[in-house]
Structure 1
């Protein structure tokens, strides 16, 4: 089986590439290295440095059986200061990749989406059939790419699977609340500023759990799966965990409000029962355990 992983030099993509190698498949990694790193790509994989939004992708798609599409703008809160990156790096890149897939003979296309496509009014835990009402440009573009993936799959005869990921954490992360708290406390061990009121509560999943779920979803019969943990943790609790791991007792301060930034979803926990029932996948860590393991790896 020939496998292509876009964004395979990035945080989640590098874990997926390693998992594929462990299972006997040496993938081709397609990455522009804007946020990924060459050293994260397994030696057994083939790295091709290209920009999905600009370069010719046909050579890498020819002969590919399965495409895992993880390449995206990694900043969920870049809009409105940056009005171009979400559309270019998510929508344009995905459309060009799907065009190349349509002109090839791939069997499967797996798209890494996000829990933010549900917005802020969804039931908790949120099932896959909940309305898509994103409140951020990142979420809007992810929802658009989901629809494009299924449209192209239907018209050009390949299978498409969408995985809606919760907040993914791990030692290679260079964004997210756990990473930010470690960075802030290394700079100022006595005080920690927390965006919002600290009561934002979300599901966190360790990266190894996430890529195992992606592989399980590819083999499952459904077309859309939620991927997360079965619980959630507040931002203040994350601050407490990170402080404990670093052996610190900082004073917490809050910027106030329900959100950490414009477009932030105050509460998120996905219903992951569909994938668990259709496969043998189950998260190995709770949200708190994943956050603690990440803080230990980063500090």
Structure 2
């Protein structure tokens, strides 16, 4: 299969590229390298098993690559929920304008299938936890979440209007090797600078679901292979959750530190738009036959060890 991955040099996108190359797909990655790096794809580029186009989705020049493609994995986005409050229009451009341009390229070149990476934050502060896919009303509380929900709506409309098939995946917190932001990255760099004290945003009681990135990719590909509606949508995450303070404890343990004091900034959330409690219901994807293979704590520990290697 000829597969396009937008954002394929980034965190999740590069792991997806690994999996598609291993499956034997002809893979084209489109990435402006603003947050990703060609280093993530170096082995594939050198072996000619993948083509990297360093293009920006908000500009032209990449669309011809869609000719003859059977599937687009649209991963490219500004993923920083916390920073989205300070750059609303730019996040809208990177996430929603870019998605519209991808959909238009698919329409013009008659690409039949789209896989889209969405987020648990589209649910807002859900009253039902674990939160199932049919939860409503969806009331996003961050700019990032709002752009992703808008993307989902346009993808559904394009699929119905133009005869495409789409899969939307709402992720829990995806962590692991190659990640360059988020609570684990933040804590480990803070402790590198000051191994005696760790600042924790909020009260440390924020509790969420985390899933290691290779398990996430496995879940995506399994669901795509085993579902066939015009518009398919699934939660992907672990079946439990973990608090921010417990994450800090794992990191301190893995770093071999003693007597680290925690300094909490206060409040029940870390920043504007933070959802303090989140766990996704994954019964729908489990009904297809895929079960999350790791817990939140296991995912955190794996991610910490991967980042330790990258920092050494």
Q: TM-score scaled to structure 2, two decimals?
A: 0.93
Q: Which residue of 2 aligns with 1:38?
A: 38
> Which string of whole-angstrom CA distances, capped at 9 and with x for unpartnered residues, describes residues 174-231 of structure 1?
1010111111111100000000000000000000011111112222235110000000
Secondary structure of 1:133 counterpart: coil
Find out whether 1:258 has 2:258 as its counterpart.
no
> Which string of whole-angstrom CA distances, capped at 9 and with x for unpartnered residues, describes residues 23-79 of structure 1?
111310010100000011233211011111122332011111000000000211223
Find out whether 1:66 has 2:75 as its counterpart.
no
Q: Which residue of 2 aligns with 1:7?
A: 7
Aligned residues: 298
Distance 2:184 2:38 in 1: 24
Alignment of 1:1-299 (within 5 A): 1-41=1-41, 42-43=44-45, 44-131=49-136, 132-219=138-225, 220-221=227-228, 223-249=232-258, 250-278=260-288, 280-299=289-308
Give the deviation of 1:155 after TM superposition. Answer: 0.9
Deviation beyond 4 Å, 4+ runs, structure 1: none
Q: Decide whether the 8 Å contact of 1:163 with 1:217 is kept in 2.
A: no
Secondary structure of 1:293 counterpart: helix
Of Structure 1 and Structure 2, the greater helix share is in 2
> Which string of whole-angstrom CA distances, capped at 9 and with x for unpartnered residues, describes residues 261-296 of structure 1?
000000000011111111x32222110001011111
Q: Decide whether the 8 Å contact of 2:79 with 2:144 is kept in 1.
A: no
Give the deviation of 1:83 after TM superposition. Answer: 2.5
> Which string of whole-angstrom CA distances, capped at 9 and with x for unpartnered residues, describes residues 122-144 of structure 1?
31000000121110000000000
> Which string of whole-angstrom CA distances, capped at 9 and with x for unpartnered residues, describes residues 4-33 of structure 1?
011100000000000011111131001010
Secondary structure of 1:174 counterpart: coil
Give the deviation of 1:121 after TM superposition. Answer: 2.8
Distance 2:141 2:62 in 1: 31
Distance 1:145 1:80 in 2: 18
Question: What is the Cα-based RMSD across aligned positions, in Å?
Answer: 1.1
Q: TM-score scaled to structure 1, two decimals?
A: 0.97
Give the deviation of 1:84 after TM superposition. Answer: 2.3
